[in-house]
């Protein structure tokens, strides 16, 4: 029965991806958070609240992302998504550790991506700092997800969810700063799939 509850965020995802408005975009994250909140009543772990908080903060961050053309709103979105990644990261640390062997090559690769591709394209210094900070927390969050000490299926579902989130963010960065738009069709599906996968992992 608990797995059938995922039909709700999946349906919201279908409507959100097909352009039915912010209500459905928010519905994906909100329904995932509600499912986990209901599940938390049946468990003794309090660490799940870090994930619930991350999902809720993501709703506000996504709203700012929809306010196109206003630079300060984009900055607010980065800050809020940074907080969301921090929530995922803290949950992972409570249930595992950072996988340093994974972190070093991933962080190195993304720093090269930042300085070679994004750095020349980002003009305001404050935005440059915000993007760099977000890139770093994303790499740490993903590496901590890989280092989770959960049952195998839950572990890899959660890690896949964070990987999808990082992938979606990478496409957004290419779109906004480099004007590379060929992969834009993957932004929303991978973003919402990341929340569904994280929820599935904790249901397991």
Q: Name the domain count of the chain.
A: 1
Residues in the chain: 204
Contacts of 136 (CB under 8 A, 6+ apart): 107
The reported pTM is 0.93
Radius of gyration of the chain (CA): 16
Nearest Cα to Cα of residue 34 among 17, 16, 59 = 59
Position 193 scores a pLDDT of: 97
What's the pLDDT score for residue 44? 46
pLDDT (tens digit per residue) in 2-33:
788 999 999 999 999 998 889 999 999 999 99
Residue 194 CA to residue 126 CA, distance in Å, equals 28
Quick check: helix, strand or coil at residue 96?
strand
Longest dimension (CA), the chain: 51
- Structure confidence at residue 177 (pLDDT): 92
Share of the chain above pLDDT 90, in %: 86
Distance CA 142, CA 158 (A): 9
Residue 172 domain boundaries = 4-203
Report CA torsion sign: 119, 124, 125, 129.
Answer: negative
CB 140 within 8 A of CB 98: yes
Q: CA-CA distance, 93 to 79, in Å (whole number)?
A: 21
Cβ neighbourhood burial of 75 (10 Å; 0-12, 13-18, 19+): middle
> Rounded CA gap, 87 and 109, in Å?
23
Contact present, 58 and 195 (Cβ < 8 Å): yes
Confidence at residue 47, expressed as pLDDT on a 0 to 100 scale = 86
Q: Per-residue pLDDT tens for 137-195? A: 999 999 999 999 999 999 999 999 999 999 999 999 999 999 999 999 999 999 999 99
What whole-number distance in Å separates Cα of residue 107 and Cα of residue 26?
30
């Amino acid at each position: 029965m608990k797995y059938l509850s995922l039909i709700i965020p999946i349906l919201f995802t279908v409507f959100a991806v097909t352009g039915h408005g912010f209500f459905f975009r928010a519905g994906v994250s909100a329904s995932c958070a509600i499912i986990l909140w209901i599940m938390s009543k049946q468990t003794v772990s309090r660490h799940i609240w870090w994930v619930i908080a991350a999902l809720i903060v993501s709703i506000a961050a996504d709203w700012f992302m929809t306010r196109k053309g206003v630079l300060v709103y984009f900055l607010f979105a980065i800050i809020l998504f940074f907080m969301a990644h921090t929530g995922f990261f803290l949950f992972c640390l409570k249930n595992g550790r950072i996988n340093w062997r994974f972190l070093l090559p991933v962080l190195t690769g993304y720093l090269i991506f930042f300085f070679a591709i994004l750095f020349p394209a980002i003009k305001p210094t404050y935005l440059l700092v915000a993007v760099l900070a977000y890139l770093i927390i994303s790499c740490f969050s993903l590496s901590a997800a890989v280092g989770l000490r959960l049952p195998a299926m839950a572990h890899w579902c959660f890690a896949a969810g964070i990987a999808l989130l990082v992938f979606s963010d990478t496409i957004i960065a290419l779109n906004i700063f480099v004007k590379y738009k060929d992969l834009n069709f993957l932004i929303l599906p991978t973003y919402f799939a990341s929340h569904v996968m994280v929820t599935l992992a904790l249901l397991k």
